[in-house]
Amino acid sequence: MSIDHSSRLKGAGNDGYRIERRMECVLVYGPVPLSDFEGLFKLASKSAVLDPSLASSLGATVVFGESDHLDLLKSSLKQELMAATRRRYGSDLDRLDESDIQWLASGERGLSSETIFQSIHGITILAPHELTTPRDPADLRRCRLLLEQSPVIAEQFHSVMSRVSGWGALVAHWEDLCALMDDEAPQWRDGKKSHSCPRTYQKMKTLADLALKATS
């Protein structure tokens, strides 16, 4: 269902963005003025979260809703997400395994996991200034999910990412970092408590400092 944003948001005018509601989630397409974002978020419940990876897959500006509703939306959109992915990446997908294509279409994505994917497969997802390491346990979780989903990436992770700027110290201590996260959040795959892993976060900060010193 599409919503006329000019009837819902004061001052939206003719800025040219479109709002859709699907399965209690809000999808916004087109450029949105910063002044409108507060009004947009009032369209969903206070427990709503952003899903940047779903937005990227759909070509939307932002997608948000409650976590359970977002999962239902992803499930219902599998064919649409796959079609959008094939349109976006075209023949680049010919050299990927099906598991990698599925991740591009509907995996849990963030900048650091996309950095891994781009570095190993050579498919442009991010601009150079967006390439980054995981900054917190939530980022680390998405990276780990990618490695579990893609055998090709898991096999090449250490050899490729150890040569990527900023990743050396992180890769060298990857197993220790993952073990620490397993201890703090045994159900991290489901997202449970993966945002609150203080020892994991501290270890990540220490490794980031080591990487910074190595490049200075």
Q: pTM, whole model, 2 decimals?
A: 0.76
Which positions ≥6 away from 60 have C-beta within 8 Å? 27, 28, 29, 54
Spatial distance between the Cα atoms of 216 and 199, rounded to a whole number of angstroms: 26
In angstroms, what CA-CA distances link 22 with 12, 44, 61, 128, 213?
A: 21, 12, 15, 33, 47
Domain ranges of the chain: 1-76, 91-216
pLDDT values of the chain reduced to their tens digit, one per residue, 216 residues:
444 343 344 334 445 789 999 999 999 999 998 888 888 988 888 899 988 888 887 889 999 999 899 989 988 888 888 998 999 899 999 999 999 999 999 888 889 999 999 999 999 999 999 999 999 999 999 999 999 999 999 999 999 999 999 999 999 999 999 999 999 999 999 876 667 899 999 999 999 988 877 776
Count CB atoms within 10 A of the CB of residue 214.
11
Q: Is 127 helix (H, G, I), strand (E, B) or coil?
A: coil
H helix runs in 90-197, sequence order: 98-106, 111-121, 137-149, 151-161, 168-172, 174-184
Tokens linked to 193: 């408590």
